[in-house]
Amino acid sequence: MIVIPAIDVKGGKCVQLVGGKPGTEKVEIEDVMAVARKWEADGAEIIHIIDLDAALGTGNNESQIEMLAASLSAPVQVGGGVRTEERIRRLFKIGAERVIIGTRAIKDRGFVEKVSKDYPDSIVVAIDAIEEEVLIEGWQTGSGRDMLAVVKDLEQLPIWGFLYTNVAVEGRLEGIEPKPIQTLIRSTEKPVMVSGGITTMTDLEMLYELDAHSAVVGMAIYTGKIDFRKAVGEFK
The residues spanned by each domain of the chain are: 2-234
Q: Could you list the pLDDT tens digit for every one of the 236 residues in the chain?
A: 999 999 999 999 999 887 777 777 778 999 999 999 999 999 999 999 999 999 888 999 989 988 998 899 999 999 999 999 999 999 999 889 999 999 999 999 999 999 999 999 999 999 999 989 999 988 888 899 999 999 999 999 999 999 999 998 888 888 999 999 999 999 999 999 999 999 999 999 999 999 999 999 999 999 999 999 999 999 97
Q: Which of 76, 51, 73 is nearest to 64 (CA)?
A: 51
Tell me what pLDDT residue 160 has. Answer: 98
Tell me what pLDDT residue 161 has. Answer: 98
The class (CATH top level) of 2-234 is alpha beta
**Alpha-carbon span 168 to 171, nearest angstrom:** 9
Tell me what pLDDT residue 131 has. Answer: 87
Tell me what pLDDT residue 101 has. Answer: 97
Tell me what pLDDT residue 134 has. Answer: 96
Strands (E), the chain: 2-10, 13-16, 27-29, 47-51, 76-79, 98-101, 123-130, 133-136, 141-146, 161-166, 192-195, 214-217
| CB neighbour list of residue 56: distance below 8 Å, 6 or more residues apart | 22, 81, 137, 138, 140
Measured CA to CA in angstroms, residue 122 lies from 115, 210, 236 at distances of: 9, 23, 22
Tell me what pLDDT residue 236 has. Answer: 73
Tell me what pLDDT residue 86 has. Answer: 95
Tell me what pLDDT residue 20 has. Answer: 73
Tell me what pLDDT residue 198 has. Answer: 97
**Alpha-carbon span 4 to 62, nearest angstrom:** 21
Tell me what pLDDT residue 186 has. Answer: 97
**Alpha-carbon span 207 to 26, nearest angstrom:** 25
Active-site amino acid positions: 8, 128
Classify residue 12 by its DSSP letter.
T
